[in-house]
C-alpha cells in the first residue's frame, strides 16, 4: 500500500480557478472565460490565437463572482447575470467589448425584481427576451430588451396563471402552467389576444422538478421536451405545438436524459444544439457516467475528435456559427474542467487551461459507482470516494447527502468531497429514492417518505459500507446542504445512534415553516413536489404529519455533536430554520458549531466564506470522527 496523500490545505480546494467557463465567440475570433480580478471571478476575452497574457478583463465585479455570461449576435456586446449577496434577484448586465473599462449597464434595473430566464432569439437580432417580475413579484411577464439602447417593451403580460415562458428563435412564445392541483401544462400563447391555449399536460408526481429540457424547435412548430409519458424513463420527444402529440426523437434503453441543468446551471444542457441552425446535434444521458447519443452526421465526426482529447465526460460545448472552431471542457473526478480549443477543418487542437493546476491529480481520489439493496429490496445507487494511499478498511465514513431531493449525485470532481477524502474519510454519496435519473417509479417511491424510507436508504447505505469493511460503525458522520441538511438533522433526531457527528448546511428543520416561507417565485412548484410528496401545511392533518417528520419536533432525541452553516440571505431555507434548531439543541447541552455568513444565500459562493466554513468543519469532524486536519 502506498502512503497516504499529503494533507492539502483547505484553501487549495476552494480558491478561485485560474480560468473556467471557456467559450468561443459566434464569429470564431475570440475566446471568453472566467478568471479572477480583484479576488472575484470576472469575464476575460482574448483572441483565438492570442497569447493568454494579452487577455482583457471586461467585467469588474470585485464584490461577488460572475458565474455566467453570454455572447450576443453583435460582437460589441456581451451579457452576464449577477445577484445581490445570494438573494437570487438576478439582474442582466451588458458589457461593451469596445470599451472594456466602462461600467457594465444593468438592463433590468428594477429593485427587488428577478430575471427568471432569458433568450437571444436568432430571428430577433440585437434583442434579448427576458422573463421578469418587475410588475408583480409573483408573476413573470415577457419583455423584449434592445441590447444597445436598453429600451424595454413588454411582449406578454402574465394573466396570473402562468408559471414560466418559452421563446423560439423568431420570438414565438409558449407558456408553462402549473394548475393548483399539480401537474405541468404547456400552452401556446396568442400575442394578439394575450391568451393561452393548452397543448399538453404531464403528471407532476412523475416530474417533480418540472420538464427539462423545454426548447422550442427552430421553426417554432414544436417543442423538444424531456418526457416520461408512457415510459418509466425520461426521453427526448418533440411536442407538436398544434396537436400536442409527442414524437420520440431519441431515447436510451436504460438511462434517462441528464436533466440536472434544470436544477443548477453548473451542469450542461441535455441537448447539444447547433450554433448555426438550432437543431439537435446530440443528446446526453446519465448512468454511472455520461452517455452521448449523436444525431447529426457532421457532429459525429467532431464528437469523435473531441472525445479523444480527454478521458472525462464531455461537458460544456461551444462553437462558432460555421461549426468549424470549438471550445469544450470535460467533467473528470481528478482533473476537473480541462478546456480545449479544436479546429475541425485543420484538425488542430490544444489545451487552453486547467482550472486548478495547483492540484496534483495523483493526490486526488477517484469516485467509484456502487449499488446496494435497501431493506425493502429497492436497488439504490451511490458513489464512493476513498482516501488515496490508505487501506480502505474500517475508515471513518461521511454520508454526504445531495439537495433537492429531486436531484442526483454523479461522476465528477467536487472540492468538498476531495477535501474530506484527503482528510482520511470514506465519502458515500447516496442517490436515495426520490433522486432523479432512475425512472419515475424510483422517484415515486419517495411519496410520503420524508424521514421515512428515504432516510432508511441512507442508514442502509451505512450498513452496506460497514458490512463491506469500508467503514467503522463508531465513526460515521452525515452532512449535506438544503435537503441534505434536512437529512443530517433527521439523522441526529430520528437515528441518533447511527451518527457520531452531523453537519447541516442550510437545511430544513421545520417542513411546515419551510413551505410557508418560500419566496413567491419558488411557490410555483409547490403543487408538484412539496405538496405532493410531503403535504400541505394549510391542511391540519397534513401539517401534523409534516411536523412529525420535522427535526425541530424531535430535538429531545439529539445527543450527536452538530455543526450548522447558514447564509443570512437564504431565501429558500430561511435563517430562522437554523436559528431555532441551534437554540433548541444548545438548550439540551449538546455541542453545536454555528456559522452564519451575512453575504451569502442558499449556496455559498465567496471563496473566503467557503474556506472559513470548511476549515471549521475540518476541525469539527476531526474531533468527533478522527480524521486528519491541517496543522496550525
Express each pLDDT in 541-578 by its tens digit. Answer: 999 999 999 999 999 999 999 999 999 999 999 999 99
Predicted pLDDT of residue 105: 97
Alpha carbon 507 to chain centroid, angstroms = 16
Confidence of residue 229 (pLDDT cuts 50, 70, 90): very high
Predicted pLDDT of residue 550: 98
Query: CA-to-CA distance for 598 and 501, rounded, in angstroms?
Result: 25
Selected catalytic residue, list 16, 23, 482, 550: 482
Predicted pLDDT of residue 3: 84
DSSP string, 2-63: PPPPPPPPHHHHHSPPSSEEEEE-TTSSEEEEEEEETTEEEEEEEETTS-GGG-EE----SS
DSSP string, 452-465: THHHHHHHHHHHHH
Predicted pLDDT of residue 292: 98
Residue whose grid cell is 467536487: 414
3-state secondary structure of 349: strand
Predicted pLDDT of residue 1: 47
Confidence of residue 525 (pLDDT cuts 50, 70, 90): low
Residue 264: how many other CB atoms lie within 10 Å: 10
Selected catalytic residue, list 313, 320, 409, 570: 570
Closest-CA residue to 162 (of 174, 152, 150, 151): 174
Q: State which H helix or E strand residue 200 sits in.
A: strand 195-202
Predicted pLDDT of residue 326: 98
Express each pLDDT in 462-474 by its tens digit. Answer: 999 999 999 999 9
Predicted pLDDT of residue 519: 86
Pick the CATH number of 361-625 from 3.40.50.300, 1.10.3720.10, 3.40.50.1820, 3.40.710.10: 3.40.50.1820
Residue 632: pLDDT above 70? no
- Residues 6 or more apart whose Cβ sits within 8 Å of residue 458: 399, 401, 430, 432, 478, 487, 491
Q: What is the CA radius of gyration of the chain?
A: 24
Express each pLDDT in 114-133 by its tens digit. Answer: 999 999 999 999 999 999 99
Closest-CA residue to 529 (of 434, 408, 432): 434
Handedness of CA 146, 151, 155, 161 (dihedral sign): positive
Q: Residue 545 catalytic?
A: no
Handedness of CA 332, 337, 341, 345 (dihedral sign): positive
- Residues 6 or more apart whose Cβ sits within 8 Å of residue 49: none
Task: Supply the DSSP symbol for 394.
Answer: S
Express each pLDDT in 5-20 by its tens digit. Answer: 999 999 999 999 999 9
**Who has greater pLDDT, 2 or 254?**
254
Bridge partners for 152 per DSSP? 145
Phi, psi of 257, deg, nearest 5: -55, 145
Residue 347: pLDDT above 60? yes
Confidence of residue 526 (pLDDT cuts 50, 70, 90): confident
Mean pLDDT of 531-545: 95
Express each pLDDT in 265-298 by its tens digit. Answer: 889 999 999 999 999 999 999 999 999 999 999 9
- Residues 6 or more apart whose Cβ sits within 8 Å of residue 468: none
Residue 187: pLDDT above 80? yes
Predicted pLDDT of residue 217: 98
Closest-CA residue to 482 (of 405, 397, 595, 400): 405
**Lowest-pLDDT range of 83-87, 215-219, 221-225, 434-438:** 83-87
Query: CA-to-CA distance for 392 and 387, rounded, in angstroms?
Result: 8
Task: Supply the DSSP symbol for 560.
Answer: S
Residue 340: pLDDT above 90? yes
Predicted pLDDT of residue 495: 98
Residue 352: pLDDT above 80? yes
Q: Residue 25 catalytic?
A: no
Residue 148: pLDDT above 70? yes
Confidence of residue 527 (pLDDT cuts 50, 70, 90): low
- Residues 6 or more apart whose Cβ sits within 8 Å of residue 309: 328, 330, 340, 342, 349
Q: Residue 602 catalytic?
A: yes
Question: By the 8 A CB rule, do 379 and 371 touch?
Answer: yes
List the chain domain ranges.
361-625
Bridge partners for 139 per DSSP? 136
Query: CA-to-CA distance for 352 and 23, rounded, in angstroms?
Result: 11
Residue 324: pLDDT above 80? yes
Amino acid at each position: 500500500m502506498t502512503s497516504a496523500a499529503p494533507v492539502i490545505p483547505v484553501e487549495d480546494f476552494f480558491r478561485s480557478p485560474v480560468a473556467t467557463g471557456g467559450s468561443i465567440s459566434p464569429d470564431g475570433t475570440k475566446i471568453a472565460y472566467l478568471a479572477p480580478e480583484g479576488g472575484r471571478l470576472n469575464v476575460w476575452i482574448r483572441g483565438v490565437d492570442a497569447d493568454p497574457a494579452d487577455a482583457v478583463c471586461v467585467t469588474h465585479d470585485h464584490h461577488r463572482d460572475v458565474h455566467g455570461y453570454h455572447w450576443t449576435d453583435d460582437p460589441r456586446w456581451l451579457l452576464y447575470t449577477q445577484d445581490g449577496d445570494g438573494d437570487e434577484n438576478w439582474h442582466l448586465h451588458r458589457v461593451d467589448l469596445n470599451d472594456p473599462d466602462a461600467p457594465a449597464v444593468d438592463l433590468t434595473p428594477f429593485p427587488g425584481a428577478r430575471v427568471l430566464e432569458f433568450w437571444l432569439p436568432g430571428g430577433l437580432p440585437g434583442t434579448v427576451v427576458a422573463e421578469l417580475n418587475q410588475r408583480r413579484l409573483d408573476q413573470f411577464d415577457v419583455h423584449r430588451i434592445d441590447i444597445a439602447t436598453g429600451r424595454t417593451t413588454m411582449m406578454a403580460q402574465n394573466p396570473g396563471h402562468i408559471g414560466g415562458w418559452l421563446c423560439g428563435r423568431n420570438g414565438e412564445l409558449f407558456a408553462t402552467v402549473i394548475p393548483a392541483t399539480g401537474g405541468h401544462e404547456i400552452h401556446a400563447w396568442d400575442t394578439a389576444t394575450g391568451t393561452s391555449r393548452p397543448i399538453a399536460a404531464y403528471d407532476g408526481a412523475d416530474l417533480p422538478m418540472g420538464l427539462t429540457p423545454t426548447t422550442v424547435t427552430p421553426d417554432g412548430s414544436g417543442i423538444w421536451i424531456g418526457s416520461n409519458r408512457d415510459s418509466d424513463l425520461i426521453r427526448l420527444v418533440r411536442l407538436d405545438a398544434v396537436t400536442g402529440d409527442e414524437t420520440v426523437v431519441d431515447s436510451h434503453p436504460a438511462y434517462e436524459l441528464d436533466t440536472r441543468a434544470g436544477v443548477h446551471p453548473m451542469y450542461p444542457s441535455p441537448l447539444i444544439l447547433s450554433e448555426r441552425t438550432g437543431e439537435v446535434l446530440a443528446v446526453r444521458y446519465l448512468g454511472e457516467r455520461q452517455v452521448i447519443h449523436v444525431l447529426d452526421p457532421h457532429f459525429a465526426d467532431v464528437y469523435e475528435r473531441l472525445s479523444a482529447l480527454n478521458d472525462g465526460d464531455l461537458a460544456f460545448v461551444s462553437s462558432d456559427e460555421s461549426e468549424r472552431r470549438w471550445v469544450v471542457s470535460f467533467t473528470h473526478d481528478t482533473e476537473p474542467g480541462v478546456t480545449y480549443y479544436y479546429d475541425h477543418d485543420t484538425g488542430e487542437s490544444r489545451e487552453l487551461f486547467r482550472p486548478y493546476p495547483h492540484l496534483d491529480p495523483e493526490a486526488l481520489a477517484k469516485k467509484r459507482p456502487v449499488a446496494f439493496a435497501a431493506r425493502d429490496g429497492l436497488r439504490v445507487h451511490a458513489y464512493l470516494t476513498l482516501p488515496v494511499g490508505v487501506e480502505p478498511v474500517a475508515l471513518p465514513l461521511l454520508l454526504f447527502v445531495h439537495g433537492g431531493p429531486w436531484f442526483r449525485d454523479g461522476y465528477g470532481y467536487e472540492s468538498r468531497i476531495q477535501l474530506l477524502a484527503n482528510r482520511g474519510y470514506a465519502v458515500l454519496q447516496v442517490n436515495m429514492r426520490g433522486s432523479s435519473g432512475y425512472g419515475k417509479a424510483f422517484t415515486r417511491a419517495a411519496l410520503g417518505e420524508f424521514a421515512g424510507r428515504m432516510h432508511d436508504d441512507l442508514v442502509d447505505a451505512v450498513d452496506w459500507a460497514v458490512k463491506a469493511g469500508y467503514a467503522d460503525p463508531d465513526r460515521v458522520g452525515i452532512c449535506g446542504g438544503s435537503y441534505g441538511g434536512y437529512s443530517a438533522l433527521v439523522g441526529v433526531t430520528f437515528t441518533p445512534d447511527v451518527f457520531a457527528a452531523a453537519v447541516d448546511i442550510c437545511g430544513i428543520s421545520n417542513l411546515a415553516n419551510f413551505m410557508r416561507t418560500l419566496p413567491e417565485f419558488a411557490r410555483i412548484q409547490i403543487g408538484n413536489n412539496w405538496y405532493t410528496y410531503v403535504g400541505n401545511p394549510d391542511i391540519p392533518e397534513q401539517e401534523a404529519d409534516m411536523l412529525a417528520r420535522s427535526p425541530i419536533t424531535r430535538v429531545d432525541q439529539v445527543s450527536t455533536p452538530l455543526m450548522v452553516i447558514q447564509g443570512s440571505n437564504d431565501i429558500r431555507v430561511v435563517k430562522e430554520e437554523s436559528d431555532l434548531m441551534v437554540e433548541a439543541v444548545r438548550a439540551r447541552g449538546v455541542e453545536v458549531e454555528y456559522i452564519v455568513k451575512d453575504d451569502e444565500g442558499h449556496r455559498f459562493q465567496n471563496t473566503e466564506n467557503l474556506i472559513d466554513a470548511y476549515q471549521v468543519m475540518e476541525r469539527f469532524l476531526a474531533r468527533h470522527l478522527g480524521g486528519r486536519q491541517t496543522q496550525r
